Structure 1
């Protein structure tokens, strides 16, 4: 790590902390405000991958993972209306999903970085986002994984309702996951603009392309 990597480290840490706070506040029926900040972690990872390479990007991801673990530990000690703000399953899902998806993002970016400028960040973010959503929501809320934390009642998340209120019947957590996934996909496209601008500023000669 060098001083040049510090902005990436701080940005990742800030995004993780902000997302852990904002996930406590609802946005409509299917989302939380954290759904709009968390995907920015992929932008940070992709900028680090493009400008500094896979090694520094992975180290920034690890810093984000450690910050996330600390946030989860703090959340387990804060009691909300229905118990701890962060349960063991949520903590496990969050950590596993973040580390797996972000490291996958770095690997895919490295494999595609020689192509069109937009291909690596778009493909790596889209695939990473899918993995992140699938891992987090299934680990945190799926009835099939209740054995991970027998004392945690997630029956509310497994109530059968129409997806997003209009689609086929599925557990509630599937609707939550699908809405979260749609936000991630939308932001993956929008993030191409700041990605291009930031990379041009940090690497004006295009030597990292």
Structure 2
């Protein structure tokens, strides 16, 4: 039984830890490097779901959630130039977004698993990552939710700027979320390649 869970748990832990580290480093104006590693959590979840089924996939998601909580707790103890590198709002937003987004991915994937091979991984990632992005950026930075952590000044994230530098005027955090989601979608397409390779060579589809 441990052999069933271990590959997915280890892969998810690697993705979560790497993303928590890389999110501290900016990549351009709208992104961090963590945006390029985190979407592979959906690939791990989908391959686990296809290989071992819903029950094991949910356990891998839970393991990833626990690893994420530990990373957040460590982050709250590390003080950067402007205070702890992980605030309470960011910690709550990160954990909630991960859990909801990944579990939605499991549900949608399972509903579509008998359709054309790419439907389940792509649509589940599309919906799961959209939820993940909306939940994280709104909980972490929306001005209307400052009551979640009154002492955390998120005024910088609510500065009104053109969307991604060119669109209608929106709070900065909306542009950050939009850029993050676009990366998630791009990598969801890229991830179809390793997904297909693994499914064809290793995995026997599970109902």
TM over 0.5: yes
Deviations 1:155-195 (A, max 9, x none): 00000011111111110000100000100011111111111
Corresponding residue for 1:208? 206
Residue equivalent to 1:188: 188
Inter-CA distance 149–28: structure 2 relative to 1 (3 Å threshold): same
Size of the aligned set, in residue pairs, is 207
SS in 2 for 1:161: strand
Query: Cα deviation per residue 1:103-159 (whole Å; 9 max; x = unaligned)?
Result: 010011111111111111111000001000000000000000000000000000000
Query: CA deviation digits over 1:39-58, x for unaligned, max 9?
Result: 00000000000010000000
When the two chains are superposed, the root-mean-square deviation of aligned CA atoms in Å is 1.0
Distance (whole Å) between structure 1 residues aligned to residue 173 and residue 7 of structure 2: 35
- Contact residue 51 and residue 206 of structure 2 kept, 8 A: yes
CA separation in 1, counterparts of 2:178 and 2:5? 34
Report the 3-state secondary structure (helix = DSSP H, G, I; strand = E; otherwise coil) of the residue aligned with 1:183. Answer: helix
Match of 2:156 in 1: 156
**How far did residue 207 of structure 1 move?**
4.1
State the partner residue of 1:91.
Answer: 91
Output the CA distance in 2 between the equivalents of 1:119 and 1:189. Answer: 11
CA distance in 2, matches of 1:207, 1:50: 6
SS of structure 2 residue aligned to 1:182: helix
Gaps of 5+ in 2: none
Are residues 1:173 and 2:138 paired?
Answer: no
Q: Which runs of 5 or more residues in structure 1 are unaligned?
A: none
1:64-83 to structure 2, matched below 5 A, reads 64-83=64-83
Whole-angstrom distance in 2 between the partners of 1:12 and 1:75: 19
Deviation (angstroms), 1:199 = 1.9
What does the per-residue CA deviation read over 1:83-111, in whole Å, with 9 as the maximum and x for residues that have no partner? 10000000000000000000010011111
Provide the C-alpha distance between the structure 2 equivalents of 1:144 and 1:35, rounded to a whole number of angstroms.
Answer: 25
User: How far is the alpha carbon of 1:6 from its aligned partner?
Assistant: 1.1
Deviation by residue 1:19-62 (Cα, 9 ceiling, x = unmatched): 00000000001000000000000000000000100000000000
Q: In structure 1, how many angstroms separate the alpha carbons of the residues matched to 2:65 and 2:44?
A: 13
1:202 Cα deviation after fit: 2.3
Question: 1:142 aligns to what?
Answer: 142
Q: What secondary structure sits across from 1:24 in the alignment?
A: coil
